[in-house]
């Protein structure tokens, strides 16, 4: 599983940080930073939740 | 007390006028019965705009009450914009836009750039650090409420003694508002979101009162901004006056309206979730007992309170071009009011939507807004304040008993209580 983020679309709502705090962080610029671009199996559900719930559709997963 | 249990009540749709502020002080059961029928029978019902002295009356709006329609509009900000005004049915006259426009009535890319100045402060990670101070505020407020009850006849007003001071102190701490300015902030915040409720607009016309309150808040901001430029601090006000967007500092007007937005939004919404959450628990003693006994329910219970109360009843979007949505044809310039309170009881999205269930999971409510860039900036802060406050109330005010019917704010926009009488039964 590979995670990517579109920082232009992101408004830093932090929903992803709430749902998968080990994978996502809102950084000092107020936009998302992917901490772990290829998260392990144990993060799969949380990451999918975060992608689905991102208010601006700024996150994507492949694989 | 008079219990407001949401049971189906007969409602004549032709008598329902969502623009009539008096309609909004009627019992929530009636409101939700009307929403149920609007969702089923008139999903894009048309309403005329209310007449407000001093503001031209526009062409009217469509009331969006179905969850799916609301989400479709909210998630297409290029097609349904906020920049024509998101918090008023009328198009905002320039002089009002200056003070009340801010982020909420702005579109990307400017919206995103300005929002990111403060978004970091409101993330779960950053708020973890403020948790202890939220706890301290809550403990302090609840102790003061008990002292008030003990000094008198055991009664308190949930709104004035608990629900208003908690979010006021939290947001003022974050913004760095001096103690002596806080009563003024509360008062002006009330006026700005009064919906023209005559009790809150003491004299003169509502428009003048709005403008005066906005200008007074802006004057406070100017004073603090000058102080922060001289001596920066670790607060939001400092961030607003020092951060650059596209190589430029925010304009004076942008800072003022952002400052007002943070204070007003930080105050009013959580206050009404607190007071009406307590009311819901009084009306559902089984749910109160269940939540009080199990801190593991804090997460789902807080979300259910937000769904149930829907502190912000609606936001507006305006079509930027002609189109069609779920069978409804619309034209550029058409206004849509997104009724979160209605979508949050849509049976297509929630099982048993009229049941207050503190363990509800999943709970995809739109109490913080739906998909789109305007999702509530303060959602994580509100969740924390509510979780801490309800847990502390169970522990420290277990004898709190709601005694009277609530006094509702005459506003379509904010689902607010002005008063909620209660007593502490342990006080003799």
Q: DSSP string of B382-413?
A: HHHHHHHHHHHHHHH-TTEEE-S--EE-S-SS
Question: Could B116 and A21 be called an inter-chain contact, meaning their C-beta atoms sit closer than 8 Å?
Answer: no
Of the listed ranges B100-109, B289-298, B332-341, the least confidently predicted one is B100-109
B211: pLDDT confidence band, cut at 50, 70 and 90?
A: confident
Asked if ipTM goes beyond 0.90, one says yes
Q: Do B123 and A12 touch (CB under 8 A)?
A: yes
Q: Say how many CB pairs under 8 Å bridge A and B.
A: 69
> What's the whole-number mean pLDDT along residues B351-367?
97
Query: Do the Cβ atoms of A55 and B375 come within 8 Å?
Result: yes
In this structure, are residues B414 and B272 in contact, taking their beta carbons and an 8 Å threshold? Answer: yes
Determine the average pLDDT of the residues in B367-393: 97
Best probe of the B interface among A5, A11, A21, by most B CBs < 10 A, is A11
- Which CATH architecture fits B13-424? Orthogonal Bundle (1.10)
Q: In sequence order, which residues have a C-beta less than 8 Å from that of residue B94 and are 6 or more positions away? A: none
Mean pLDDT of B23-49: 94
Which residues in chain B have their CB less than 8 angstroms from residue A12's CB? Answer: 115-116, 119-120, 123
pLDDT value at position B99? 64
Percent of chain A with pLDDT over 70: 100
Tokens at residue B144, please?
């003061």
CA dist B64 and B339 (Å) reads 6
pTM of the model: 0.94
Residue B98 has pLDDT above 60, yes or no: no
Question: Which of A8, A9, A11 minimises the CB distance to B119?
Answer: A11
- pLDDT tens digits along B170-194: 999 999 999 999 999 999 998 888 8
C-alpha–C-alpha distance, residues B317 and B46, integer Å: 14
Confidence of residue B7 (pLDDT cuts 50, 70, 90): low
User: Can you give the pLDDT at residue B305?
Assistant: 98
For B377, nearest residue in chain A (alpha carbons)? A13
Q: Which CATH number fits domain A2-62: 2.40.30.20, 3.40.920.10, 3.40.50.300, 3.30.70.20?
A: 3.30.70.20
| A56 → closest Cβ in B372, B379, B380 | B372
Residues of chain A neighbouring B375 (CB-CB closer than 8 A)? 11, 13, 15, 55-56
CA distance B90 to chain A (A): 26
> Burial level of A52, CB count in 10 A (0-12/13-18/19+)?
middle
Which chain B residue shows the shortest CA-CA distance from A25? B125
Residue B230 in this model has a pLDDT that exceeds 90: yes
> How do beta strands B328-330 and B323-325 pair?
antiparallel
Residue of chain A whose Cα is closest to the Cα of B76: A56
Chain B nearest C-alpha distance from A52 (Å): 10
**Residue ranges of the domains in chain B?**
13-424
- The answer on pLDDT for B96 being more than 80 is no
Tell me whether strands B61-64 and B335-339 are parallel, antiparallel or unpaired. Answer: parallel
- Chain A CB contacts of B112 under 8 Å are 8-11
**Sheet of strand B314-319: strand arrangement:** B44-47, B61-64, B335-339, B314-319, B80-81
> Are the C-beta atoms of residues B192 and B264 closer than 8 Å to each other?
yes
Q: Which residues of A touch B371 (CB under 8 A)?
A: 55-57
- Mean pLDDT, rounded, for B88-98: 73
Percent of chain B with pLDDT over 90: 72
| Euclidean distance between CA atoms B406 and B404, whole angstroms | 6
- Facing residues of B249 across strands? B244
Report the residue from B75, B112, B125 with minimal CB separation from A11: B112
Of A26-35, B1-10, B46-55, B262-271, least confident by mean pLDDT is B1-10
The Cα of A23 is separated from the nearest Cα of chain B by a number of Å equal to 13
pLDDT at residue B101 in the model: 65
- Tell me what pLDDT residue B4 has: 47
Q: Quick check: B94 pLDDT over 80?
A: no
Tokens of B89: 């049915």
Torsional sign, CA B232, B376, B408, B102: positive
């Amino acid at each position: 599983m590979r995670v990517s983020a579109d920082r232009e679309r992101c408004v830093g709502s932090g929903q992803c940080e709430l749902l998968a705090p080990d994978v996502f962080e809102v950084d000092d610029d107020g936009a998302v930073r992917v901490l772990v671009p290829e998260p392990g199996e144990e993060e799969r559900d949380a990451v999918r939740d975060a992608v689905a719930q991102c208010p601006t559709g700024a996150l994507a997963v492949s694989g | 007390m008079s219990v407001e249990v949401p049971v189906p009540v007969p409602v004549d749709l032709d008598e329902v006028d969502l623009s009539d502020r008096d309609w909004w002080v009627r019992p929530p059961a009636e409101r939700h019965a009307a929403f149920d029928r609007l969702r089923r029978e008139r999903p894009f019902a048309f309403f005329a705009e209310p007449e407000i002295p001093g503001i031209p009356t526009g062409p009217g709006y469509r009331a969006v009450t179905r969850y799916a329609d609301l989400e479709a509009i909210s998630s297409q900000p290029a097609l349904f914009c906020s920049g024509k005004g998101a918090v008023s049915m009328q198009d905002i006259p320039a002089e009002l836009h200056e003070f009340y426009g801010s982020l909420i009535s702005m579109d990307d890319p400017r919206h995103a750039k300005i929002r990111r100045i403060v978004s970091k402060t409101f993330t779960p990670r950053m708020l973890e650090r403020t948790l202890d101070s939220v706890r301290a505020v809550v403990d302090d407020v609840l102790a003061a409420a008990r002292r008030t009850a003990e000094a008198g006849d055991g009664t308190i007003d949930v709104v004035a003694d608990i629900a208003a001071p908690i979010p006021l102190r939290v947001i003022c701490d974050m913004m760095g508002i001096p103690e002596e300015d806080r009563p003024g902030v509360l008062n002006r915040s009330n006026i700005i979101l009064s919906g023209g409720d005559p009790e809150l607009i003491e004299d003169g016309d509502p428009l003048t009162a709005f403008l005066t309150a906005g200008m007074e808040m802006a004057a406070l901001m100017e004073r603090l901004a000058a102080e922060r430029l001289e001596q920066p601090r670790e607060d939001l006000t400092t961030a607003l006056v020092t951060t650059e967007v596209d190589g430029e500092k925010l304009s004076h007007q942008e800072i003022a309206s952002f400052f007002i937005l943070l204070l007003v939004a930080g105050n009013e919404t959580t206050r009404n979730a607190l007071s009406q959450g307590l009311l819901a628990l009084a009306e559902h003693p089984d749910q109160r007992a269940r939540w009080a006994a199990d801190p593991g329910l804090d997460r789902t219970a807080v979300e259910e309170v937000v769904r149930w109360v829907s502190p912000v009843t609606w936001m507006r979007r305006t079509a930027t071009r002609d189109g069609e949505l779920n069978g409804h044809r619309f034209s550029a310039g058409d206004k849509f009011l997104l009724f979160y309170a209605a979508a949050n009881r849509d049976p297509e999205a929630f099982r048993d939507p009229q049941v207050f269930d503190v363990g509800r999971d999943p709970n995809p409510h739109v109490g913080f807004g739906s998909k789109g860039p305007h999702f509530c900036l303060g959602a994580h802060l509100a969740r924390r304040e509510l979780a801490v406050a309800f847990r502390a109330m169970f522990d420290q005010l277990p004898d709190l008993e709601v005694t009277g019917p609530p006094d509702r704010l005459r506003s379509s926009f904010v689902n607010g209580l002005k008063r909620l009488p209660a007593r502490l039964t342990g006080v003799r």
